[in-house]
Amino acid sequence: MKRPATLQFGLVLGLGLWLLGTAAAEDGIQITIKDHRFSPSEVRVKADTKIKLIVTNDDQTAEEFESSSLNRERVVRAGQSITIFLPPLKLGSYDFYGDFHPDTAQGKIIAE
Amino acid sequence: MVGTFIITWRETIEAALIVGILLTYLNKIGQSNQFRFVYWGALGGVLASLVFAGLSDYLSVFFQDIGEDIFETVILFLATVVLTHMVIWMHHNAREIKGALQHEAELAITKNRLWALGTLAFVGVFREGVETVLFLWGLFLQSGGTPFAAPPVIGGLLGIGLGVLMTWLFFKGFGHLDLRPFFRVSGIILLFMAAGMLSSGIGKLVAVGLVPPLVEPIWNTSWFLSERSFLGSLVAGIFGYRSSPSLVQALFYLLYFPITLIWLRRQRHDFAQ
């Protein structure tokens, strides 16, 4: 009876992942990657408020959104979007960059 | 060219470290004829990385936005469990062998354990592989008509080569250690890696909003070691170092050790019987 159980588990897991994916709402701060640059490269947000970033990669190549001060690191595949949740930020400036093109892909979030 | 060289070099060292420990360990317990399980695992990891990176469009339909992060988290948690189990088993074996007898000892190794070794090699490579493939593929696309003549691509490939060579030399030197000191060093490295994988997995769940960070960040040590420096990125990749971690990540990292020690004690009991 082991196999049907595994199959069921797989199906439930797959369905769960799909639902979780579709459940993500569309509002949030949009950041677009184009020609290995972020636009806007400077994002102003309210301090002490939860933030949702939606990072869209319009390039033909993958990029990795990375920020050590924000403790976030996620790959964005070519032509796709990811959602990043950030905790309420204290006043200040937080750098982020594209780990695959760190020379050009740079930006910061300013909490004010 | 230097930038791409450093990225692939770093990723390769991270992946090759696990494979190197497994091979050296097998060698030390007189089971070098079982290397193929590790090689297969590592090769499987490379192939899976290629497939996973190549199926970009197809996967996005299935995974949607955060599905891929959840999948990676599951892999990380699985790796934590297998890695911990291996360390406990290696620890048990190291206790069995009394110094001088080591070279004569051929410890029996069951099929189950060999599969666990293969799985670890697979996960160790796959974990870094997808990112490396996506990165290198990007370089290929950007290089226009002549990818193999483009400096960034050459840099990336050289990075992989040097990473493998360095790890190989490292274990050549390491190989002269006796089993017990070798185990002590590699066991500690593996346990910190496992704790890092656990906390990285939790970090992914925090980033996609499924787990509350509790407090984030709880401290900031980037003045001391930043993930943007080469050393910092290496320590981050191998031991899960974060300069600004969330409380929930730090808790999982720190709680991993006492829980593993308790597990270790209980297993020692089981093995002894």
CATH number at residue A104: 2.60.40.420
SS3 per residue for chain A: CHHHHHHHHHHHHHHHHHHHHHHCCCCCEEEEEECCEEECCEEEECCCCCEEEEEEECCCCCEEEEECCCCEEEEECCCCEEEEEECCCCCEEEEEEECCCCCCCEEEEEEC
User: Which among B3, B62, B137 has the least Cβ separation from residue A18?
Assistant: B62
Interface test with A, best of B4, B11, B69, B230 (most A CBs within 10 A): B69
> Per the domain annotation, does A18 fall within a domain?
no
Closest CA in chain B for residue A51: B209
> Per the domain annotation, does A53 fall within a domain?
yes
* Segments in chain A below pLDDT 70: 1-27
Q: Give the closest residue to B216 by CA, choosing from A1, A26, A51, A33.
A: A51
User: Which among B71, B138, B217 has the least Cβ separation from residue A62?
Assistant: B138
CA-atom Rg of chain B in angstroms: 20
Only one residue has tokens 């051929």, namely B106
Chain B residue numbers with beta carbons less than 8 Å from the beta carbon of A24 are 64-66
Closest CA in chain A for residue B74: A13
Write out the residue range of the structural domain in which residue A93 sits: 25-111
Interface test with B, best of A9, A11, A13, A17 (most B CBs within 10 A): A17
> Per the domain annotation, does A12 fall within a domain?
no
Chain B residue numbers with beta carbons less than 8 Å from the beta carbon of A34 are none
> Per the domain annotation, does A39 fall within a domain?
yes
Is the peptide bond between B217 and the residue preceding it cis, with omega within 30 degrees of 0? Answer: yes
- What DSSP character marks residue A30? E
How far apart (Å, rounded) are the C-alpha atoms in residues A58 and A81?
9
Task: Note if the pTM is more than 0.80.
Answer: yes
Three-state DSSP state, A92:
strand
0.90 surpassed by complex ipTM: no
- In order along its 273 residues, chain B shows pLDDT tens digits of 777 888 899 999 989 999 999 999 888 888 888 999 999 999 999 999 999 888 866 776 666 667 788 888 998 999 999 999 888 888 877 777 655 455 555 666 788 888 889 999 999 999 889 889 999 888 888 877 676 778 888 999 999 999 999 999 988 887 777 777 888 888 899 999 999 999 999 999 998 889 999 998 999 999 999 988 889 988 998 899 999 999 999 999 999 999 998 888 887 666 554
pLDDT given for residue A23 in this prediction: 45
How far apart (Å, rounded) are the C-alpha atoms in residues B156 and B97?
42
Pairing relationship of beta strands A42-45 and A37-39 according to DSSP bridges: unpaired
CA-atom Rg of chain A in angstroms: 17
Please, is B46 exposed, middle or buried when counting C-beta atoms within 10 Å of its C-beta (0-12, 13-18, 19+)?
Answer: middle
- Amino acid identity of residue A86, one-letter, is L
How far apart (Å, rounded) are the C-alpha atoms in residues B244 and B237?
15
pLDDT given for residue A1 in this prediction: 41
Q: Nearest CA of chain A to the CA of B198: how many Å? A: 15
- What DSSP character marks residue B30? T
Chain A residue numbers with beta carbons less than 8 Å from the beta carbon of B60 are 77, 80
> Per the domain annotation, does A20 fall within a domain?
no
> Per the domain annotation, does A19 fall within a domain?
no
Number of domains in chain A: 1
**Taking CB atoms and an 8 Å limit, are A77 and B137 in contact across chains?**
no
Q: Give the closest residue to A44 by CA, choosing from A56, A27, A31.
A: A31
pLDDT given for residue B250 in this prediction: 96
Q: Which residues of A touch B (CB under 8 A)?
A: 14, 17-18, 20-22, 24, 52, 60-64, 66, 68-75, 77-85, 87, 97, 99-100, 102-103
Interface test with A, best of B52, B66, B77 (most A CBs within 10 A): B66
**Taking CB atoms and an 8 Å limit, are B137 and A62 in contact across chains?**
yes
**Taking CB atoms and an 8 Å limit, are A85 and B206 in contact across chains?**
yes
> Per the domain annotation, does A50 fall within a domain?
yes
Q: Nearest CA of chain A to the CA of B189: how many Å? A: 23
- Amino acid identity of residue A108, one-letter, is K
